[in-house]
Amino acid sequence: MHPAVSVIFFTTATGAGYGLLALLGVGAALGLLPPHLALALTGLGLALTLISSGLLASTAHLGHPERAWRALSQWRSSWLSREGIAAIFTYVPTAAFAVGWIILGRVNGWVAAAGLLAALGAIVTVSMTGMIYASLKPVAQWHTPFTLPAYLIFAAMTGLTLFNAILQVFGLGPQWLIAVAALATLGGWGFKRAVWRHDSGMENRPTLNSATGLTGGRVRSVQWPHSERNYLLKEMGYRIARKHSARLRRIAQVLAFAVPLALFAVAVFATPWAAVTACVLTVPVQLAGMLIERWLFFAEATHTVTLYYGLP
């Protein structure tokens, strides 16, 4: 599948943003977050910037962005429509939470309830994003039980990395939070490796035989219907060289998981000043790694239409 920059940025940014928003909402409700103006502004500001810029980017690949409002109408059948509605609904409790925490300076009562609702909205929205991909039967690498949990796990992982970094900067982050963030990154790494292992062993996928109905014997494509690349090949037939794929997987793992884990280890044992620096550094490094992971999520996914062109 064609790795569109707008969709890669959208899924990565909103994942991290909703992860952070959910943690802020739950953290406030659990009484972990004080009514601290700068913390509230930074935390919610960052979460909303990531979410809103991601949602705006997602409209960039539309043929008619000015009609995007129509996408809210088919929630009964379409995961994309449900995602749009969930994203908009999540803004309501988020706005209430922001007013309570930033302007009124309180995190109890209805503000805490709004925080919990914002967290719920964030989880639902990320789930809808995951289901858009998980529901697509023609793409074998996406139509698996791994896709929905992957979106939730990576949203939680990047959200925790951000949450930890912000709290450490304001000197409000306990030592155990670093350990929790490190565990989330370790879990994300293990999950991604399990997904790759699953993808490499997929069986019972459609073949050119079942695609053409020519059962029995070997079927091979000898002539395409057109000489140049058409929409189908540009959009669904994106191919990535095997050697680049292997190298990019290594780079993604180093940036998204290995380096952040090393930085978390430094943060646990280093002086306070170095610990804060290490925690802040985990954010850009992990997000860069996740952008590569998301690029691979698209580039390595194969669509059944390529069978007709004799491609795997």
Partner 1 sequence: MTCLPETTERQLGLAIDLDTCVGCNACVTSCKEWNTGGHMAPLTDLVPYGGDVDGVWFNRVHTYEQDDAMGGLTVHFPRSCLHCTEPACVTVCPTGASYKRASDGIELVDEDKCIGCKLCSWACPYGAREFDVDVGVMKKCTLCVDRIYNENLPEEDRVPACVAACPTSARHFGDFADPNSAVSRLAAERGGVELMPELGYRPSNRYLRPRERAEHEITIAAPPLQAVQAEGGFLGWVDRVLSR
Name the minimum Å distance from CB 222 to partner 1: 5
Q: Does 3 bind partner 1 (CB under 8 A)?
A: no
Q: Work out how close the CB of 106 gets to partner 1 at its nearest, in angstroms, rounded to a whole number.
A: 38
Based on its alpha-carbon atoms, the radius of gyration of the chain, rounded to whole angstroms, reads: 22
Nearer to partner 1, 63 or 171 (CB): 63
Of 106, 193, 229, 244, the residue at the interface with partner 1 (CB under 8 A) is 229
Taking the complex as a whole, the smallest distance from the CB of residue 72 to partner 1 amounts, in Å, to 8
Please tell me whether residue 200 binds partner 1 under the rule CB under 8 A.
Answer: no
**Within positions 138 to 167, which residues make up the interface with partner 1, using CB under 8 A?**
138-139
Placement of tokens 């980017």 in the chain? 57
Spell 130-147 as b/e; 16+ CB within 10 A means b: bbbbbebebbbbbbbebb
Distance of closest approach, residue 121 Cβ to partner 1, in angstroms: 18
Torsions phi, psi of 75, nearest 5?
A: -60, -20
254 DSSP assignment: I
Determine the Cα–Cα distance for residues 203 and 296; give it in Å rounded to an integer.
21
Please tell me the total number of residues recorded for the chain in this structure: 312
> First-to-last CA distance in the chain?
12
**At closest approach, how far in Å is the CB of 297 from partner 1?**
13
With b meaning 16 or more CB within 10 Å and e meaning fewer, what string describes 243-254?
eeeeebbeebbe
Torsions phi, psi of 135, nearest 5? -85, -5
Considering the complex, what minimum distance in angstroms separates the CB of residue 61 from partner 1? 8
Q: Which is nearer to partner 1, 126 or 259 (CB)?
A: 126
Candidates 132, 181, 263, 290; binder of partner 1 (CB under 8 A) is: 132
Distance CA 131, CA 100 (A): 32
Stretch that binds partner 1, among 145-153, 170-178, 222-230, 281-289 (CB under 8 A): 222-230
Contact between 288 and partner 1 per CB under 8 A: no
- In this chain, which of 197, 200, 203, 227 binds partner 1, going by CB under 8 A? 227
Residue of 49, 108, 175, 210 that binds partner 1 (CB under 8 A): 210
Answer for the pair 198, 181: CB distance below 8 angstroms, yes or no: no
Q: In the complex with partner 1, which residue's Cβ is closer, 1 or 47?
A: 1
Nearer Cβ to partner 1 (137/244):
137
Helix axes 147-169, 175-200, angle to 10 degrees: 160
How far apart (Å, rounded) are the C-alpha atoms in residues 278 and 271? 10
**Within positions 59 to 98, which residues make up the interface with partner 1, using CB under 8 A?**
61-65, 67-68, 70-74, 76-81, 84
In single-letter form, the type of residue at position 216 comes to: G
Binding site for partner 1 (CB under 8 A): 1, 61-65, 67-68, 70-74, 76-81, 84, 132, 135-139, 204, 206, 208, 210-232, 235-236, 303-305, 308-309
